[in-house]
Structure 1
Amino acid sequence: MKSSQNKIALIGNPNSGKSTLFNQLTGLRQKTGNFPGVTVEKKFGTLRYTSPDGKQADATLIDLPGIYSIYPKSRDEQVVVDILANPQHPDYPDAVIVVVDASNLQRNLLLFTEIADLGLPIVLALNMLDVAESMNLQVNAVQLAMPFAVPVVRINARTGEGVPNLKEAINRVLGQEQVAMSYFLDPLETQEGLVEEVKKTYALENNYLAMQYVCQHDEFTFLNRPERQQLDELIEKYSFDKTDFLTHETITRYERLRPIVQKAQTVKGAIDQPAWTRRLDRFLLHPIWGYVAFLFVLLVIFQAVFAWAQYPMDMLDMATAEAIDWTKKTLPEGVLNDLLTDGLMAGIGGVIIFIPQIAFLFGLVGLLEESGYMARVMVIMDKLMRKFGLNGRSVVPLISGVACAVPAIMTTRSINNPYERLLTILVTPLMSCSARLPIYTILIALVVPDETVLGILNLQGLVLLGLYLLGLVGALASAWLFSLFIPRREPSYFILEMPTYKLPRWSHIGYIMFDSVKSFVLEAGKIIVAISIILWVLASYGPGDRMDVAAEQALQTTSSASASIQEAAVASARLEASYAGHFGRFIEPAIRPLGYDWKIGIALITSFAAREVFVGTMSTIYSIGAEASEDALTIRKRLQQERNPQTGGPMYTPAVSFSLLMFYVFAMMCMSTMAVVYRETHGWKWPIIQLIYTMFLAYGSAWATYQLLS
């Protein structure tokens, strides 16, 4: 059932500024979710405007995937057509804002005319006028509005200029009856009999929508098999040729758009990209220097993540430790105190400490996207990707995988070739996502000195960059191996529109950072805290009286030692005899060749739910048995003080720490990723293959690393 609140769809070509306008119109009043029945992510938010009676009203603004026309080439584009062609869809809009790039007017208006022919109330938002002017183009909005008979609003999505006028135009069109533009529907006259019969059979009123049923019924998700078969019979009855019709339609639209664009657009001088854009592209798209520049950008990002985020991380880490210590001393001793401090607060500490690094990482990646540089990365990487069975569009999922593999795998829907899409899905989890970042940073800080190289490069940042590059190398090598066994059934091509360079809109960067932190805290954080509490229960209780017996034996063994040594021995013995200890001991023989003990084994088991749980698990394990009299201990100090019972030395030696780093570079260990791969590949075959080969890589590389360094 549709909501009583008006729905407004935001539609436009890729790189037209649609998503930037969405942020301007909604601010922080945004949410994310999936379109009903599919795993394509959607963003929707609240748009506030003034209604005709002068009162403030809210509408739901839906940011639909970018498309070039309503004839989709990929699965995420199909979502848009499924919504616009189905009035019963829960996201069917009451009005549409079509965002048009003024610097590429004719091509962008093709989509506008298709949407208008569907009969939806429509507003045309004329964006990127500053880019058009830099290319010696001037666009007259009034000259566009007259032939189209729709509101045309000049805007600048980056600065917010024209947004109040856009809201007024939205208010005018909401509630208008759906009237299709007849100017572009003449080609349907040759198919009048077919159109009328489809309209009668499916209770449609719009001629162009009826034609979409004819052309796209095999892709429409809302039609059942008998309905599709009936349309096939009508196509055969009227001898309809889809290819001829689509060719005729496209030619006709461009022919009728040409005089409109010529009248509305004034050319002053030669049309060209801005000079500084051309100069930058000569360097950033160079076959050698382009790769050097990309590597330098990555180096700066990971140096910044360590250098800038270190101070707030240390403050959060110490504040959490002191809060736990204060709570232990203040509350009465007992189960509730232990649960609150060693379970809940330790779990929360394992979440909030990484907020600064995640915010910096996502903010810097957003800066690359906002500036237009990310498209250049796709272009220069296309030639390299093809050697491994992929193409330039695979770069987007792989780079997105640095954030999270789940949405990254969803973005593979933009890859037209099924073969390249499958390869990209299979290797994307090897990219080091934000869930691995807490593990990387805590282990690197243990064994890599915090010092500079060449006076400016932080050694820890260099190691972090190396781990991310290692994930990329693993992904490319795995794609090449898979390409040897998975047959390619169709050729591949790579076409990309190159956006101009733009200064970033800092408020948009702020939204990206806020959303990434919120997602980490609310999504990953819930898992970490929940598992921390469960783990505390498993580590605090054991079968029968084994924990008490183990504690007594530990006291007898250390009877001549100091009180602090006795307390540590009792705590360790009780943990080993607990349910959690039994789990760790069960898998210890399998992980001992990697240098891991049963405590690390517990963390490996819990992190199968989500990788980021590892740090929270270690924090909880080493909090068990901690006394209130002790100094406040950070997570890092707890790991530094852990001793190897066999050698008496530090548990987290360089060999063990780097072995763990190698394990988590390649280990999949994410149930959410497996679930989305199952959805995208329609079966368990590929998720199981993916899990097996990543675990093989993880175990083998961790074993080799430990053997070499120990």
Structure 2
Amino acid sequence: MSNRINIALVGNPNSGKTSLFNVLTGLNQKVGNFPGVTVDKKTGTSTISTNMVANIIDLPGTYSLYPKRADEWVAYKVLIGEDEQVSPDMIVLVADASNLKRNLLFCSQIIDLKIPVVIALSMMDLAKQKGTQIDIAGLERELGVPIVVINPRKNKGIAPLKKAIETVAENMANTNAARDFIDTNALAPEAINTVKAMFPSVSNYGAIHYLINHENFHLTTAQQTAIEQAEIDHKFNPTKTQAEEIMQRYSRIKFIMQQTVVENDPLKKSLFTERLDDILLHRTWGYVILLVVLFFMFQSVFWLAQFPMDGIEWVFGQLGGWFANILPAGWVSDIFINGILAGLSGIMVFIPQIMILFGLITLLEDTGYMARISFLTDKLMRKVGLNGKSVMPMISGYACAVPAIMSARNIENKKERLLTIMITPLMSCSARLPVYTILIALVIPSKLYFGFLSLQGLVMMLLYVLGTVLALLVAWVMKWFIKSTERSFFILELPVYRSPRWKNMLVTMVEKAKIFVFDAGKVIMIISLLLWALSTYGPATKMKAVTNQYDALVAVQEKAREAVEMQKASAIALQNATDSSATIVAFNDKLQQYDSVITQLNKERRTALLQNSFAGSLGSFIEPVIKPLGYDWKIGIALITSFAAREVFVGTMATLYSVGDDADENSNTLRQKMGAATRADGTKVYNLATGLSLLVFYVIAMQCMSTLVIVKRETKTWKWPAIQLVYMTGLAYALSWLTYIIFSGV
């Protein structure tokens, strides 16, 4: 039986920690939230040896054990032993060899906590480029903990790292005997001894943190009072103690680096990163390159995904027609074809675009360019009341507003953080992508300019640009109403440029597709089945009246058809059976006319039943409100269901246009059905004006209950989500109406 240990993966931001986590865990990963905190909790399992399996938790990046942001507090509480659900047996600390002095501060603090630790030294290749030479054996000797050189991007050093983990795990009982990095007991001996008498398992350095941060720990009232009394009795000064500790650590680090590290003059060698930054961060060309990158990204999303999407649509269209022909008529086959199958098609068809979008975003992050976007846009952000750190949540909003809003915690200034939260939902998230795709395909011609520029891709990019521009305008307006006296600072560490990790990109694409299918997919399926029921059933009186009306009309036509059949039979009996005289031809023409009328009446019956169903009644109720925007009652239903999740629009349309179809129409794709939809006057429902109006509405409107809930959670009040809902819905209505008016005459 294998031993199982818990390992916390820690390190400075941009140290290579996430790369190592991905290599160790592969696809055995789960993403959740830390209990009570909306900070990502990434966990996974890794086989260390034949006798050992590790549960690995990737803690948020932090520079030291003195936290400032919410994510740093999460890592801090785990390391200090104050997280009730996460208790690591060992620490794997990822340190950046190219910034060793800064990374050693955090390393030294972890060592003094007396938790078993292995240091994984990353980015040695970059250190060599800088001309830095590190004596690994000497550094290991000075620190007193094992050090393994790794390169997770190239899968190097992983086996030695696992061996070191196994060795340390087998000797964990001897950890407390390890020497201190600095003499922490000398910082406040009496106060430390008092705390250790209360908590015998805590190290000297851990006792200092109890003295500094005990108010944030899960302690009893008696324990809190005792620690506060110890501070008073022994005149413990947290600020002075912290400053003295940091000075002693850097003094020791300086000595260790003199013994084990040889550094070249930094002015002698210009790194590739610096030369590339001269171009990509240029005050003119930097913005041009940024626009080109974004343009290419959206063109790729639309162009690359088109082929697999067409294939998925065709498969589900054929399946719908096939099942309609072989299954017996009844509510069971109806719910399967028009509920379950239609809902599944609305989910699966957009997986290619979701995967491509997230793959490209991962590519930008992996190469280091995403951080440059923050730096490049800081000046623009400040003009509208934000700063460069707001760009990361906004760009993350292209994927999903929920984690994007949570990531705004990295913004220290409260006003800028609130402004970022208020405008992030205007960024076009991946949930809008299915809506954009199907509407663009309906109303925008599939044209290519210069042989490669897709008109549909250009429109897609303009929708993202529209959301971004509106976000900046709203921030500029809101900055005058949200008051704050805090000063704003923008400090950002630019990571080095690295080649992308294609495996990591693939893992991300698969994970995001799974999240879309199993999270958004569940909502879409539930809504689809609910809509099938609402669209199939209605008030008994209304539904019976429609049935009786059309039964009577069809009966009249069928009776007349039978009379013509009898007349034709008589004519054939009087003549030769093979005679193709004008009389027989006339009878055949009449029969075809009756067949056509009966088919049309049955189609009208299905439409009338749908309009009188519960769903149709709801759509008809709100139709007067949305009619000025060019929408019909079916679009009205989709707008309502989209508040559960925007991508439900497609599932809603798939259900509404499937309920009422006959067997032949079931083989058509959703785009074909929507493209053929007409109003009472015979005009197309999805013309250019309506399509563009609907696209603008979905760019702007707040149609995501999850986002509203997370805004409330982050702001601790319903005031701001209520303001978001009102201003975004009002703005969406006004601009959609304006769009419809402008393009109605085109």
Shorter-chain TM-score bucket reads: over 0.9
Deviations 1:311-340 (A, max 9, x none): 010000110111111111111111110100
* Counterpart residue type for residue 232 of structure 2: E
Q: State whether residues 182 and 248 of structure 2, in contact with CA within 8 Å, keep that contact through their aligned partners in structure 1.
A: no
Task: Give the drift of 1:708.
Answer: 1.7
Written as runs of structure 1 = structure 2, the 5 A alignment for 1:82-93 is 82-86=77-81, 89-93=84-88
Task: Give the drift of 1:450.
Answer: 0.8
Report the 3-state secondary structure (helix = DSSP H, G, I; strand = E; otherwise coil) of the residue aligned with 1:218.
helix
Aligned with residue 680 of structure 1, among 688, 701, 714 = 714
Aligned with residue 523 of structure 2, among 502, 506, 527 = 527
Deviations 1:467-492 (A, max 9, x none): 00111111111112221111113111
Aligned residues between the structures: 702
- Residue 99 to residue 274, structure 1, CA distance change in 2 (3 Å): farther
Q: Name the structure 1 match of 2:176.
A: 179
Task: Give the drift of 1:297.
Answer: 0.3
Written as runs of structure 1 = structure 2, the 5 A alignment for 1:648-687 is 648-687=682-721
Q: Name the structure 2 match of 1:70.
A: 65
Alignment of 1:153 with 2:148, yes or no, is: yes
More displaced 10-residue stretch of structure 1: 155-164 or 593-602:
593-602
C-alpha separation in 2, matches of 1:241 and 1:344 = 66
Alignment of 1:433 with 2:432, yes or no, is: no
Q: State whether residues 447 and 653 of structure 1, in contact with CA within 8 Å, keep that contact through their aligned partners in structure 2.
A: yes
Written as runs of structure 1 = structure 2, the 5 A alignment for 1:207-222 is 207-220=204-217, 222=218
- Residue 611 to residue 308, structure 1, CA distance change in 2 (3 Å): same
Q: Name the structure 2 match of 1:592.
A: 627
Written as runs of structure 1 = structure 2, the 5 A alignment for 1:117-128 is 117-128=112-123
C-alpha separation in 1, matches of 2:269 and 2:612 = 70
Q: State whether residues 77 and 83 of structure 2, in contact with CA within 8 Å, keep that contact through their aligned partners in structure 1.
A: no
C-alpha separation in 2, matches of 1:180 and 1:660 = 68
Q: Name the structure 1 match of 2:301.
A: 305
Task: Give the drift of 1:417.
Answer: 1.8
More displaced 10-residue stretch of structure 1: 168-177 or 556-565:
556-565
Written as runs of structure 1 = structure 2, the 5 A alignment for 1:229-248 is 230-248=226-244
Q: State whether residues 134 and 274 of structure 1, in contact with CA within 8 Å, keep that contact through their aligned partners in structure 2.
A: no
Alignment of 1:259 with 2:258, yes or no, is: no
Q: Name the structure 2 match of 1:357.
A: 353
Task: State the percentage of identical aligned residues.
Answer: 47
C-alpha separation in 1, matches of 2:121 and 2:205 = 25
C-alpha separation in 2, matches of 1:88 and 1:478 = 39
Aligned with residue 733 of structure 2, among 688, 699, 703 = 699
Report the 3-state secondary structure (helix = DSSP H, G, I; strand = E; otherwise coil) of the residue aligned with 1:419.
helix
Q: Name the structure 2 match of 1:193.
A: 190
Deviations 1:500-546 (A, max 9, x none): 11101110111111111111111101110111011101111111232
C-alpha separation in 2, matches of 1:206 and 1:280 = 46
Written as runs of structure 1 = structure 2, the 5 A alignment for 1:23-62 is 23-50=22-49, 55-62=50-57
Q: State whether residues 402 and 434 of structure 1, in contact with CA within 8 Å, keep that contact through their aligned partners in structure 2.
A: yes
C-alpha separation in 2, matches of 1:413 and 1:651 = 44
Q: Name the structure 2 match of 1:419.
A: 415
Q: State whether residues 111 and 180 of structure 2, in contact with CA within 8 Å, keep that contact through their aligned partners in structure 1.
A: no
RMSD in angstroms over aligned alpha carbons? 1.9
C-alpha separation in 2, matches of 1:473 and 1:536 = 38
C-alpha separation in 2, matches of 1:483 and 1:120 = 46
C-alpha separation in 1, matches of 2:385 and 2:77 = 31
- Residue 582 to residue 96, structure 1, CA distance change in 2 (3 Å): same
* Counterpart residue type for residue 384 of structure 1: L
C-alpha separation in 1, matches of 2:632 and 2:425 = 26
Written as runs of structure 1 = structure 2, the 5 A alignment for 1:319-398 is 319-398=315-394
Alignment of 1:604 with 2:639, yes or no, is: yes
* Counterpart residue type for residue 78 of structure 1: W
* Counterpart residue type for residue 689 of structure 1: I
Q: Unaligned stretches of 5+ in structure 1?
A: none
- Residue 384 to residue 218, structure 1, CA distance change in 2 (3 Å): farther
Q: State whether residues 184 and 204 of structure 2, in contact with CA within 8 Å, keep that contact through their aligned partners in structure 1.
A: no
Report the 3-state secondary structure (helix = DSSP H, G, I; strand = E; otherwise coil) of the residue aligned with 1:652.
coil
Q: State whether residues 16 and 100 of structure 1, in contact with CA within 8 Å, keep that contact through their aligned partners in structure 2.
A: yes
C-alpha separation in 1, matches of 2:611 and 2:224 = 63
Report the 3-state secondary structure (helix = DSSP H, G, I; strand = E; otherwise coil) of the residue aligned with 1:184.
coil
Alignment of 1:488 with 2:484, yes or no, is: yes
Task: Give the drift of 1:429.
Answer: 0.8
C-alpha separation in 2, matches of 1:109 and 1:87 = 24
Task: Give the drift of 1:119.
Answer: 0.8
C-alpha separation in 2, matches of 1:535 and 1:678 = 29
More displaced 10-residue stretch of structure 1: 682-691 or 176-185:
176-185
More displaced 10-residue stretch of structure 1: 140-149 or 524-533:
140-149
C-alpha separation in 1, matches of 2:544 and 2:257 = 85
C-alpha separation in 1, matches of 2:103 and 2:324 = 63
Q: State whether residues 135 and 272 of structure 1, in contact with CA within 8 Å, keep that contact through their aligned partners in structure 2.
A: no
Alignment of 1:100 with 2:95, yes or no, is: yes
Aligned with residue 566 of structure 1, among 573, 588, 601 = 601
Report the 3-state secondary structure (helix = DSSP H, G, I; strand = E; otherwise coil) of the residue aligned with 1:596.
coil
Report the 3-state secondary structure (helix = DSSP H, G, I; strand = E; otherwise coil) of the residue aligned with 1:282.
helix
Q: TM-score, normalised by structure 1?
A: 0.96
- Residue 573 to residue 274, structure 1, CA distance change in 2 (3 Å): farther
C-alpha separation in 1, matches of 2:268 and 2:431 = 43
Q: TM-score, normalised by structure 2?
A: 0.91
Report the 3-state secondary structure (helix = DSSP H, G, I; strand = E; otherwise coil) of the residue aligned with 1:183.
coil
C-alpha separation in 2, matches of 1:58 and 1:275 = 40
- Residue 117 to residue 449, structure 1, CA distance change in 2 (3 Å): same
- Residue 95 to residue 662, structure 1, CA distance change in 2 (3 Å): same
Q: State whether residues 184 and 205 of structure 2, in contact with CA within 8 Å, keep that contact through their aligned partners in structure 1.
A: no
Report the 3-state secondary structure (helix = DSSP H, G, I; strand = E; otherwise coil) of the residue aligned with 1:126.
strand
Q: State whether residues 118 and 180 of structure 1, in contact with CA within 8 Å, keep that contact through their aligned partners in structure 2.
A: no
Task: Give the drift of 1:274.
Answer: 5.1
Alignment of 1:502 with 2:502, yes or no, is: no
Larger Rg: 2
Alignment of 1:614 with 2:655, yes or no, is: no
Q: Name the structure 1 match of 2:743.
A: 709
Task: Give the drift of 1:409.
Answer: 1.1
Written as runs of structure 1 = structure 2, the 5 A alignment for 1:549-564 is 549-554=545-550, 562-564=597-599
* Counterpart residue type for residue 138 of structure 1: Q
More displaced 10-residue stretch of structure 1: 369-378 or 416-425:
416-425
Q: State whether residues 702 and 728 of structure 2, in contact with CA within 8 Å, keep that contact through their aligned partners in structure 1.
A: yes
C-alpha separation in 2, matches of 1:180 and 1:284 = 51
Q: State whether residues 548 and 574 of structure 1, in contact with CA within 8 Å, keep that contact through their aligned partners in structure 2.
A: no
